[in-house]
Structure 1
Amino acid sequence: MKILVISQYYYPEPFKVHEICEELVKRGNEVTVITGRPNYPEGNLIKGDPMYQNLNGVEVIRTNIILRRHNFLSLIFNYLSYPILAKKEIKKLDKEYDVVFVYQLSPVLMIKSALYYKKIFDKKVYVYCLDLWPESLKAIKLSEGNPIYRIMLKISNNIYEKCDFISVTSPAFLEYLENVNKINKDKLNVIYQHGEKIFLDVKPYEKQDKLNITFAGNIGKVQDFDCLVRAVAQIPNSYYSKLKITIIGSGSYEVEFKQDVKKKQLDSVFDFIGRKKVEELIPYYNDTSLFLLSLEKNSNIGKTIPSKLQTYLSAGRGIIGSIDGTAAKIISDAKAGITCNAGDYKALSKIIIELLNDENKLEEYAINSRKYFINNFTIEKYIDEISNKMEELV
């Protein structure tokens, strides 16, 4: 197949779309991606990538989108600029594609570029939805009663309705698209995200000098670090010499998170590493006792399955989490760790204390994690499913 991929984000930005595209190429498909200049998550241009290049067999076309920068106005222009500029690149294309695949993160507006191609060439648009809209607006404190939210609801419903098929990352997303966006369930299914195979190189679990709990990913409000800090503050000081919490990543909530840690005098426990490339994470994961997974409560976003869950499982470590929904069920089904309800800092504190007193379960969790990943979340399984759906649409 000749596949046109629409995604505002692409390598070196920290999303899995480039792995998907490269695997599709390995299977004999011809893949072209229309994306933006890399600038996520810090908002500054990540230099070194030309506007046109062949990257591991994938033809990559970068649009000159407005960078996210560090303010709300720039973010809005960033969101608006991509579909406009992607449309211009579509007009320049010198070949016709069999299907359009959209790797839909925020904003939903990126799908408009795919719908433009559909209108011109009468090709099917297949969306893999990773961010719900307008639900994602709640992360920036826009309520359902806000006029902007209501406008975006109408726009989102219209965009999703014009797509030919939408796969989502979790059952909670399925329910949202049916009930809020009013999309016919016959146009929807669930395909879980894959995890990175590179983390199969993480060495088997070994007991550390300290219980080293690692979080790796975006540091945003929805990750609910307030719950983590409050949980650690509940732990008696006598345990602090045996506890280490490693935070790898960056994001909009990073400064506030660090201030909260300092205010509660927990500097000796927390170790902020900063953002690292995927290939740089293995040494940190080798020294990890188990991973942390958390999302805020009372939100459809909080019921999703963070992609880091698959990553954690592939790295072969146990997982503790303050998280609801399918993610908690997967951890339970895999026998890969312990969870409590999202936002329940007292319960999370008890889990950490329990493991500080008895680390014997950690090796069992580690073995179960990797086994579950291999059986359920490899990229081969993911590509099998999306390829089948594309062929059906073609």
Structure 2
Amino acid sequence: MKVLVISQYYYPEPFKIHEICEELVKRGHEVTVVTGRPNYPDGDLIEGYPNYQVLSGVEIIRTPITLRGHNPISLIRNYFSYPRCAKKAVKDLNKEFDVVFVYQLSPVLMIQPALYYKKKYHKKVYVYCLDLWPESLKALKLSESNPIYKIMLKISNSIYQKCDFISATSPAFLDYLSNINQVKRERLNVVYQHGEKMFLQVEPYQKQDKLNIVFAGNIGKVQDFDCLVKAVSLLPKDQLNRLVFTIIGSGSYLDELKNKVNENHLNDVFIFTGRKKVEELIPYYNQASLFLLSLEKGSTVGKTIPSKLQTYMSAGRGIIGSIDGATAQIIHDAKAGITCPAGDDEALSQIILKMLNQENQLEEYSKNSRDYFLNHFTIEKYVDQIEKKMGELK
């Protein structure tokens, strides 16, 4: 098949779409990606990636979008610039494709260039939905009564309903897409994200001098680090010297998190490494005792399955989660860790305290975590599902 991929984000930005495209190429498909200039998550241009290149067999067209920058105005301009620039790039394409695949993060507007191609060439649009809209706006404190939210609800519904099929990352997404966006159930299914196989290189679990709980990824409000800081502050003071949290990444909430750590006199417990390239994570993961997963309580976004779940399982470590929904259920089914309801700082504190004294349990969690990954979350299992659906839509 000739596959046109629409995604605002692509390598070196920290999303899995490049792995999907490269796997499709390995299977004999021709893949062309229309994306933007790389600038996520920090908002500055990541140098060294031309507007056009072929990388690992994937043809990549990078459009001159407005960078995310460092304020809400530039972020809004970024959101609106990609659909416009990508539509122009789609117009200029000199070959026809069998199907259009959209890797849909925020904003939902990134689907629009695919719908333009559908209208022009009468091809099917297949969306992989990782962020729900307009639900994602609630992370920006926009309520359902806000006029902007209401406008985006109409736009989102119109966009989703024009897509031919949507696969979502979580069962909770199906209810939202069906009930709120009014997409027919027969045009929806769940396909869980895959994890990076490179983390199978991470060494088997070994006891560390301190219980080293690692978080790696975007540091935003949605990740609910407030709950974590409160949980750690509730621990007995004589236990804090046995514990360290290694926070790897960057994001809009990083400075606020550092301030809260400082205000609670926890600077000796938290280590901030900054953002790391994917290949730089392995040494940190080798030293991990556990991984942390947390999402804020109350919204459908909080019930998503973060891609970190699969990555952590690939690395072969147990997981503690302050998280609801399908993610908590998977961790439970896999016997790969322990969870508490999202936002429950007292329960999270008790989990951390328990893990300080459960060495044998940590080793068992680690083994179960990697076994579950190999049985459910490899790139091959993921692409098997989307390749089959692409063939049906072709």
- Global fold match (TM > 0.5): yes
Which position in structure 2 is the counterpart of 1:17? 17
Which whole-Å deviations, capped at 9, do the CAs of 1:40-61 have from their partners, x for residues lacking one? 0000000000000001100000
CA distance in 2, matches of 1:53, 1:100: 20
Which position in structure 1 is the counterpart of 2:312? 312
Q: 2:248 is aligned with what amino acid?
A: I
Q: 1:255 is aligned with what amino acid?
A: D
CA distance in 2, matches of 1:90, 1:223: 35
Which whole-Å deviations, capped at 9, do the CAs of 1:67-126 have from their partners, x for residues lacking one? 000110101110101111111111111100000000000000010000000000000000
Instruction: Give the superposition deviation at 1:358.
Output: 2.5
Q: 1:132 is aligned with what amino acid?
A: L
1:298-337 alignment runs, 5 A limit: 298-337=298-337
CA distance in 2, matches of 1:83, 1:105: 13
Q: 1:292 is aligned with what amino acid?
A: L
Instruction: Give the superposition deviation at 1:360.
Output: 1.8
Which position in structure 2 is the counterpart of 1:116? 116
Instruction: Give the superposition deviation at 1:21.
Output: 0.3
Q: How many equivalent pairs are there?
A: 394
Which whole-Å deviations, capped at 9, do the CAs of 1:274-319 have from their partners, x for residues lacking one? 1000000000000000000000000100001000000000000000
The alignment partner of 2:143 has SS state of coil
Q: 2:334 is aligned with what amino acid?
A: A
**Identity percentage over the alignment?**
73
CA distance in 2, matches of 1:342, 1:102: 30
CA distance in 1, matches of 2:220, 2:195: 21
TM-score by length of 1: 1.00
Following TM superposition, the consecutive aligned residue runs of length 4 or more in structure 1 with deviations greater than 2 angstroms are none
1:172-251 alignment runs, 5 A limit: 172-251=172-251
TM-score by length of 2: 1.00
CA distance in 1, matches of 2:306, 2:101: 21
CA distance in 2, matches of 1:359, 1:147: 52
CA distance in 1, matches of 2:55, 2:136: 31
1:132-147 alignment runs, 5 A limit: 132-147=132-147
Which whole-Å deviations, capped at 9, do the CAs of 1:303-336 have from their partners, x for residues lacking one? 0100000000000000001100000000000000
Q: 2:73 is aligned with what amino acid?
A: L
Instruction: Give the superposition deviation at 1:237.
Output: 1.1
CA distance in 2, matches of 1:61, 1:358: 50
Q: 1:373 is aligned with what amino acid?
A: F
CA distance in 1, matches of 2:83, 2:298: 31
CA distance in 2, matches of 1:240, 1:172: 37
| Alignment gaps of 5+ in structure 2 | none
CA distance in 1, matches of 2:358, 2:197: 30
Q: 2:268 is aligned with what amino acid?
A: S
1:98-177 alignment runs, 5 A limit: 98-177=98-177
CA distance in 2, matches of 1:213, 1:90: 44
Q: 2:173 is aligned with what amino acid?
A: F
1:242-321 alignment runs, 5 A limit: 242-321=242-321
Q: 2:7 is aligned with what amino acid?
A: S
Which whole-Å deviations, capped at 9, do the CAs of 1:167-196 have from their partners, x for residues lacking one? 000000011001110110000000000000
CA distance in 2, matches of 1:259, 1:50: 38
Instruction: Give the superposition deviation at 1:247.
Output: 0.1
